[in-house]
């Protein structure tokens, strides 16, 4: 299983790969631009070449970009809608030049959810036609704050079905928990499994965002927390991984980074959880010694 985390691109895109390597990651997620501004920094071809070179050098197997924060792909407001999709296309083209595997997007929010949903679907259709994968666009499930679309897997499944397999799914544990899927309880994990199978389908699930949640289940508040220290807890995250990690390309952490020790500690816990899954699979018994051996 490839495990990695969202890391900074401060100092240029190629630096993120060195950071991933020094933390022992085999997967990585980055923003390809400043996520809090509309301004666009043109990325020189030498920087793109050095990014690709670093990826080979450090053996980072799975790399996703996360769309910046300002675009709203379901906006009812026409100028914002157009600007949002222009930005998505620019980030998708840059991600393609960098050789990335995925571009993770939130479905967006809309005062008129049905109109927003239609706008999202038509935007996805146009973007994928203009720039076919890779990178594959992944829609991420949300906590369902305010008018946010995509808090339920059933709703995401309906959107993905209209994209005819050209868009995948990223499942964020903190968002699912905040949206009411109590990952600590088997009946809730079964409901999630049923909705996933009937909606997006297990094959659509490409990435897991492994985060604990600062707020309780159903709070609809999106606050990622350190693994094992939030309301999902170590055991809830472990059970979720046990059921879904094998289906995905990578597990990516988006945990808080307040102290220098935070990233290594959260990664160590994720690796520990992954190792416990491996230990759970039945070990192959060594063959019984042949009683006739030695007499020959």
Residues that bind Zn ion (CB under 5 A): 140, 172, 209
Pick the closer one to Zn ion by CB: 58 or 256: 256
Pick the closer one to Zn ion by CB: 50 or 145: 145
Q: CB neighbours (10 Å) of residue 222? A: 20
Closest Cα to residue 14, out of 44, 56, 51? 51
CB of 288 to Zn ion, least distance (A): 49
CB of 187 to Zn ion, least distance (A): 24
Q: Please answer whether residues 60 and 27 qualify as being in contact, where contact means their C-beta atoms are separated by less than 8 angstroms.
A: yes
CB of 146 to Zn ion, least distance (A): 16
Pick the closer one to Zn ion by CB: 54 or 270: 270
CA-derived radius of gyration, the chain = 20
CB of 241 to Zn ion, least distance (A): 15
Beta strand 250-253 with 136-140: parallel, antiparallel or unpaired?
unpaired
Pick the closer one to Zn ion by CB: 19 or 209: 209
CB of 18 to Zn ion, least distance (A): 23
In whole angstroms, give the CA distance from residue 112 to residue 117. 9
Pick the closer one to Zn ion by CB: 54 or 213: 213
Coil, helix or strand at residue 36: coil
| Whether residue 134 has a cis bond before it, omega within 30° of 0 | yes
Look up tokens 């008129």; give the residue.
Answer: 112
């Amino acid at each position: 299983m490839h495990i990695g985390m969202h890391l900074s691109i401060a100092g240029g895109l190629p630096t993120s790969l060195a950071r991933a390597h020094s933390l022992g990651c085999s997967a990585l997620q980055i923003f390809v631009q400043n996520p809090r501004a509309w301004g666009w920094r043109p990325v020189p071809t030498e920087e793109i070449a050095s990014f690709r070179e670093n990826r080979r050098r450090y053996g980072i197997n799975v790399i996703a970009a996360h769309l910046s924060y300002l675009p709203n792909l379901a906006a009812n407001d026409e100028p914002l809608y157009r600007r949002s999709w222009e930005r998505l296309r620019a980030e998708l083209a840059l991600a393609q030049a960098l050789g990335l595997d995925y571009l993770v997007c939130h479905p967006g929010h809309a005062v008129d959810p049905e109109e927003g949903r239609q706008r999202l679907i038509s935007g996805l259709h146009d973007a994928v036609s203009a720039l076919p994968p890779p990178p594959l666009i992944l829609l991420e499930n949300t906590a369902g704050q305010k008018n946010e679309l995509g808090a339920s897997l059933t709703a995401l499944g309906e959107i993905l079905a209209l994209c005819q397999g050209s868009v995948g799914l990223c499942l964020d544990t903190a968002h699912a928990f905040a949206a009411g899927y109590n990952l600590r309880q088997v009946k809730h994990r079964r409901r999630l499994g049923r909705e996933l199978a009937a909606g997006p389908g297990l094959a659509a699930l490409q990435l897991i965002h492994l985060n604990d949640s600062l707020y309780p289940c159903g709070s609809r508040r999106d606050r990622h927390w350190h693994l094992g220290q939030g309301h999902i807890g170590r055991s809830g995250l472990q059970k979720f991984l046990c059921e879904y990690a094998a289906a995905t390309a990578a597990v990516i952490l988006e945990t808080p980074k307040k102290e220098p020790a935070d990233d290594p500690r959260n990664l160590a816990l994720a690796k520990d959880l992954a190792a416990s899954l491996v230990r759970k699979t039945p070990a192959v018994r060594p063959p019984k010694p042949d009683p006739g051996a030695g007499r020959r």
